[in-house]
Chains A and B, each alone.
Chain A
Amino acid sequence: MMPIFDIAIIGGGIMGCGTALRLAEGGMRAIILEQGDIGQGASGVNAGTLSMQIKRVKLMPYAIRGHEEWQHMGDAVGFHKTGGYTLAFNDREAELLHERMKMKKEAGANISFVSPKQLNEKEPHLAKKVIAVSYCPDDGYANSSLTGQYYRKKIDEKGINFIEAFKVTNIRSVSDGYEIASGDRAVVASRILIACGGWSKHITAMLGVDLPIRARINTVSVTERAPQLVSSVIGHATGLLTMKQKENGTILIGGGWQGKGRPEEGRGQVSVDSLVPNLQLAKFVLPALSNIRIVRSWTGFEANVPDFYPLAGALPNRDNAFILGCVRGGFTIGPYISKLMGDYILGKEPEMPLFDPGRKMEEGKLI
């Protein structure tokens, strides 16, 4: 029989590992239970964009602090501050860009507008059809592939227990807290934190809690190594493109185009009907892409709730049970909000407010 832990954290991504590290600082004994490998879910397969220009207005203060965390992690996670441009190609997009960036700037992001000419001087390979451009010098990226390696090393250094290939099959209340089982293996802990992204709905249901969690299935593609074509992170006014070229020459293309599948069924599948327009848009923006080969396309699940704000706090109707997830921009914000979550579980007042999972949620507006 394994010892009883202070807390079992389901999900070994940025949220779960980040919280575990904070809890360890506070003296709490955590065990991380991960269905696959540490940091290989959404944390490890997203496009790695750290852009203030694609963060939600209300989450901007969290994003700014999250960005600082990534900067601090530095080379170990492949952090690069390159500056980022968001492009508009027609009047509708230009209007959208102005309206949105103004609000984001007011929320604290260091965003300004530059002329297409200035963009052209900095990024001569981009399409010349741009009519409006916003710029943020803080934007950049990290290498999401290194998330697992980074966090595994950190939790190992702190002596935090973790079990990989532990796919939770059942959770039940016991006198000391919760017993979490994976087949015939089981772990007992006084508290439980659900931090498994797209899989959270399925896990909270095991505790009899029904949360309106849904999963988006974001597609990301990478090219073979190419000559230097872009040096900044490039976005599109609609948010439907992110593009960056890494030091090794490969170009990463994202933008939230939707694949297929459900978290319960595996890792999701790339759908050609959304991959092709995603790549066409990338080529429109960077014409030189046309003859560079795509080496791999994949999908990752991004969980959300109807109001598109995080679930971060105590699980409704259960004692000693918590949830952290559904953070839009979770890669950027994760290292910070997980600290807040750790403080909350330790009974401290977090530096910034969390987001009550039991709140009433209205459908967020898609413009």
Chain B
Amino acid sequence: MFDAIVIGAGPAGANAAILLSENGLKTALIDEQRDAGGQVWRAKSESILEASITDAGEQGDALRDRLKSSNVITKFNCRVWHIERLENGHWLLSVVGGVEKKLITKALIIATGAQERVIPVPGWTLPGVFGLAGATAIFKEHMMAPKRRTIVAGNGPLLFYVASETLSLGGRVSAVISINSRTDWLKSLPAMLSNPSLIWQGLKWIFTLNKNRIPIYWQHAVKSVEGENMVDGVTICKVDQNWAPVEGTDQYIHGENLCYGQGLMPAVEATHLAGADHHYDEKLGGWVPTIDQWGRTSVAGLYACGDNAGIYGALAAPIRGSLAAQAVCEDAGINIDRKAEIKKLKVAIKFGLAATALTIPRSGLEALITGETEVCRCEGITRQEIDFEIKTGAQSPNAIKSGTRCGMGPCGGRYCMDSVALITQHRTKKSREEIGLPTARPPLRPVTIDDISDDLDYDDLPIPGVSPL
């Protein structure tokens, strides 16, 4: 039995866990990765420990050191697959990959971070297509870039980071396709100036691209990914103010890899499964748990911090971790004063919100998802099938799922349900809030029966009374 368990060992979660244990709470920190750091401060693979030091790497190492010298009980390579609230208000977590299969805690902090938004276009499932955020994970862990030519496409700051990092690691970049216009970027500059060092970093990225004469296509989008068995190029087109494709502006760009993403969305499956209230806020990246400024959700004993509670970015994450830890302590009757953090948060979120603003999907985006585009890659469901289901009356993600099997595969709808909602919004004119989220159900990630149970002695099976005749 723990006083607190934190799910997710990124900057928010790890920081929260350290603070909780410093205040005398018996705390566990769970992460599916092999070490702390999350996506942004991801630990390097052991085979490249000697490789050069990066900023993010340094911050990550500092966090990992603090964690090692703390009393936090870490559980890495460990995955939570179910969360239940017990009658006494405690939380029961079902986990795989650890020694125990069940963990119980009084307070639960969820810090599961973000997931990538990928707008499906024809060919997006071809081998050679990576997520933008997925590419950063490979850079950070292995410090490797693909040797073949890479096209980098999508929106937000990640675009320029991925392109410049690919070059720095010895890769080749064919082009950068930014759906944002230069004007979008100029508009976000004032807010971003709250963090001059990051602006400076951004300029360095652009400088690297210019120096290498990498073409940047502003206000352009990938219309389709070309290739037989793998990527050999993309067709791009100009988009209008609403990001709808402009007729007659198609161009072909050659390349064997595509790093592609349209920003980050809060990963809310865990808070949703735990029963917290959620609302849709496009400024925060999409669906978020409804929280107070410390991170308390609508359910007592359940807290959320980090990008899963709104995409504020890496700068804000550790501060949000501190605030959530403070709320847990306060609710446990321990007083710690970190109110100063609130002020720091206000500054930190400016940059994060400005970056997220660049990624808010606009109304024309759905037009890139053509009829024959596979929206649900697990089940092979196309946009046409989803459109038909909506046209014949399905109005919610649950109804569309049931009728088409869209989202019923192993990913549990994680990759397609946002696109489905985008399409539903276009067809029904309902708000995202009205359209709603599909029901959250376990397992959070697929598990085998052997993963979650021990061998059975048949006579020990708890057989309740049989049904009446």
Interface presence of B442 (CB below 8 A): yes
The proximity string for B residues 45-57 relative to A, scoring 1 for CB distances below 8 Å and 0 otherwise, is 0000000000000
Q: Which residues of B contact A153 (CB under 8 A)?
A: 392-393
Interface presence of A95 (CB below 8 A): no
CA distance A15 to B446 in the complex (A): 34
CA distance A40 to B436 in the complex (A): 15
**Contact, CB under 8 Å: A279 / B449:** yes
Within 8 A of A (CB), among B420-469: 439, 441-443, 446-450, 452-453, 456, 458, 461-469
Q: Which residues of A contact B92 (CB under 8 A)?
A: 272
A145-B403, A149-B403, A308-B468 known; A37 vs B394 contact (CB < 8 Å): yes
Q: Which residues of B contact A148 (CB under 8 A)?
A: 394, 399, 402-403
**Contact, CB under 8 Å: B468 / A260:** no
* SS of B interface (majority): loop
Interface presence of A192 (CB below 8 A): no
Interface presence of B254 (CB below 8 A): no
Within 8 A of A (CB), among B177-215: none
Q: Which residues of A contact B458 (CB under 8 A)?
A: 89-90, 129, 284
Q: Which residues of A contact B389 (CB under 8 A)?
A: 149
**Contact, CB under 8 Å: A296 / B449:** no
Question: Of the candidates B402, B449, B463, which one forms a contact with A294 in the assembled complex, judged by CB atoms under 8 Å apart?
Answer: B449
Q: Which residues of B contact A365 (CB under 8 A)?
A: 468-469
CA distance A356 to B273 in the complex (A): 40
Q: Which residues of B contact A36 (CB under 8 A)?
A: 396, 398
Q: Which residue of A lies closest to B443 (CB)?
A: A294
Question: Of the candidates B396, B403, B410, B452, which one forms a contact with A146 in the assembled complex, judged by CB atoms under 8 Å apart?
Answer: B403
CA distance A295 to B447 in the complex (A): 7
Could you tell me the distance in whole angstroms from the C-beta of A333 to the nearest C-beta in chain B? 15
Question: Which of the four size classes fits the interface of chain B?
Answer: 35 or more
Q: Which residues of A contact B405 (CB under 8 A)?
A: 145, 248
Question: Of the candidates B395, B398, B442, B468, which one forms a contact with A270 in the assembled complex, judged by CB atoms under 8 Å apart?
Answer: B442
**Contact, CB under 8 Å: B468 / A293:** no
Q: Which residues of B contact A352 (CB under 8 A)?
A: none
Interface presence of B32 (CB below 8 A): no
A267-B439, A291-B448, A297-B443 known; A328 vs B398 contact (CB < 8 Å): no
A267-B439, A294-B443, A366-B465 known; A279 vs B402 contact (CB < 8 Å): no
Could you tell me the distance in whole angstroms from the C-beta of B460 to the nearest C-beta in chain A? 9
Question: Of the candidates A149, A152, A277, A328, which one forms a contact with B467 in the assembled complex, judged by CB atoms under 8 Å apart?
Answer: A328
Interface presence of B409 (CB below 8 A): yes
Q: Which residues of A contact B461 (CB under 8 A)?
A: 277, 280-281, 284
**Contact, CB under 8 Å: B392 / A152:** yes
CA distance A36 to B464 in the complex (A): 32
**Contact, CB under 8 Å: A293 / B439:** no
Within 8 A of B (CB), among A286-329: 289-298, 308, 328
Could you tell me the distance in whole angstroms from the C-beta of B30 to the nearest C-beta in chain A? 16
**Contact, CB under 8 Å: B84 / A271:** yes
Q: Which residue of A lies closest to B434 (CB)?
A: A165
Interface presence of B134 (CB below 8 A): no
CB-based closest 4 A-B pairs: A366-B465, A293-B446, A149-B403, A145-B402
Task: Give residues in B with beta carbon < 8 Å to A.
Answer: 82, 84, 92, 94, 102, 275, 389, 392-396, 398-399, 401-403, 405, 408-410, 412, 439, 441-443, 446-450, 452-453, 456, 458, 461-469
